[in-house]
Amino acid sequence: MGLARAFLGAGAASVLAARWAVPDLQTRILMTAFYREYLLHGDKARALRQGMLAAMATDDAPASWAAFTLIGERC
């Protein structure tokens, strides 16, 4: 979370960060779905939800998808 704070301090409007280590496969699935959805609709919260759902489809253990959170003013 310290790195997220640094990005926000440097001027980023928001940051998508993981609160703990997540396996690479689930991270790739979540991030791919997140950016695909974000580019379609521009809604970060909706995009994160879709990313989480995509990651859950391959591994429903919360440790594989629940670590991700949006931080910032314009989420």
Pairwise CA distance, residues 9 & 34, whole Å: 23
Per-residue pLDDT tens digits for 35-69: 999 999 999 999 999 999 999 999 999 999 999 99
Pairwise CA distance, residues 6 & 4, whole Å: 5
Pairwise CA distance, residues 51 & 73, whole Å: 20
pTM of this prediction exceeds 0.75: yes
Name the pLDDT band for 73 (thresholds 50, 70, 90): confident
Q: Are 54 and 36 in contact (CB under 8 A)?
A: no
